[in-house]
Amino acid sequence: MLQRFYARDRSSDGRFLTGVLTTGIYCLPSCTARKPRPENVRFFQTQEEARSAGLRPCRRCRPDDFYRAYDPDLHLVETLAADVRRRPGAFADAAAMTAASGIGTTKLSALFRRHWHTTPAAFLARERVAAACRLLADDAAGLTDTAFAVGFESLSAFHDNFRRLTGLTPGDYRRLGASAEFVLALPDDYLAAHVLLHFGRDAASPTERVRGTELAKALRLDGVPARLVVRLEAGAARCRVEAERPVSPEAMRAAHAAAVRILGLGSDAPGFERHLARRPDLARLLEGRRGLRIPLTADAFEGLVWVIVGQQVNLAFAYALRRELIERCGEPAGGGMRTHPTAEAVAALDYADLTARRFSRRKAEYVVDTARLAARGELLPDLLAEGPATRAEQALLAVRGLGPWSVHYFLMRACGFADCVPLGDAGLTTALARFFGLGHRPGVEETAALMEPFAPFRSLATFHLWTTLGDPQ
């Protein structure tokens, strides 16, 4: 507990309270106040215990608000974010968001970094483009009217931001569904080889297939099993949807969203590289990997299943278990491929259906019970991916079978949050030991300290470090 307190470990909030005898206060483990000497620290299970010892709540971390499930800062930024999503055109820029919040620019930026892992300006641009996509799905929406309705001051700014975040021009997005194909523009430094290597790691996978520069992914698109085939070329990803019957415009928009996710186009690789340029001691992490992005799972539920299946087993066995689950309740998508199972399909299983397929009893329970939560609407992975990250983390840690490693891996690989560290990950600790020449694998506290200079891009730093494991010693 002392180590977690000194590491300001947010995942320990709610598990114990820390009392500081010299100041007479009690705090959450994640409190950012200056840390006391160990002999002045006491630990408590409840607020009542801490008060009985004569301590009062800390005004910085506000433990009583946390235990009431109320964080005034989170409430403020959630309210502002919801308003931006409802009417992005009402905010001219990030300064308008600051004015609406009633707090200073520095604090608002810090709150968005903490809770959404992004800046107010980047959040506003993303929500403007998301709102534009919804308007463009209506054939009656004109491009100029759409641009100004969502808050862009010029058509050029609208075009540039839309293309950067979606890989398409606004006109091309509106035409999705006119054919079974579309072409995404890729950044000049896009590392296609890493994406192909990632999705081709399990050569026997029934839901992903890599052949040369072509990646195929089996998906359910608007309720129809189909295959999304992506051919990666210099500067472009040529995508087509193959299905047994014609797909709707809604299905094509779903295919586009999946392509953007699996290609990792939401990763802020330029921002991460600018950040490391200010740290020559860390910039060598980019050697041979500039432009690396994090490919996400096709949807959030698939990512949630993967973190449970992959817990505490080697990668080869995790792939084998995943194949068993897909063969058991995925749907045929043609071409010998199957879709990843839906939450409803997994929820319908008995534990014995999985234990008969080499799952341990505990892992079978975790997979099926989590799917049942999702199927009943008590846990909505796609909604968690919309943020804030802190709210998603809190909800996921309450799920049986999900610990800090699982949650941060899910937030990084299924939701695309930018500042996650899966503490305790064996691959990450091995990579850190090699990168920093430690001679030993760091523990949780040392891992957190070593990753701190990479903030607010620790997800990309983690992915880069994992990739270094394939480098020669």
Q: What are phi and psi of 200, to 5 degrees?
A: -100, 10
Tokens 């800046």 sit on residue? 119
Cα dist. 234→27, 194, 231, 260 in Å?
53, 14, 10, 16
CB-based contacts of 265: which residues, under 8 Å, 6+ apart?
A: 165, 166, 167, 184, 186, 293
- The yes-or-no answer on residue 138 being catalytic is no
Nearest CA among 96, 158, 171 for reference residue 131? 158
- Name the strands in the sheet holding 224-233, side by side, starting at the edge strand that comes first in the sequence: 181-185, 236-243, 224-233, 214-221, 208-211
Per the DSSP assignment, residues forming a β-bridge with 19 are 26, 42
- The Cα 195–Cα 186 span in angstroms is 13
Name the packing angle between helices 404-413 and 458-468 (round to 10°): 100
Nearest CA among 50, 52, 82 for reference residue 66? 50
Nearest CA among 360, 342, 343 for reference residue 351? 360
CB-based contacts of 103: which residues, under 8 Å, 6+ apart?
A: 76, 111
Nearest CA among 435, 439, 414, 411 for reference residue 423? 411
Over the range 441-467, which residues count as b (16 or more CB within 10 Å of their CB) and which as e? ebebebbbebbeebebbbbbbbbbbbb
Query: Of 73, 353, 425, 471, which is the active-site residue?
Result: 425
10 Å Cβ neighbour count for 404? 19
Q: What is the DSSP string of 213-258?
A: TEEEEEEEETTEEEEEEEEEETTEEEEEEEESSPPPHHHHHHHHHH
Per the DSSP assignment, residues forming a β-bridge with 44 are 17
Catalytic residues: 425
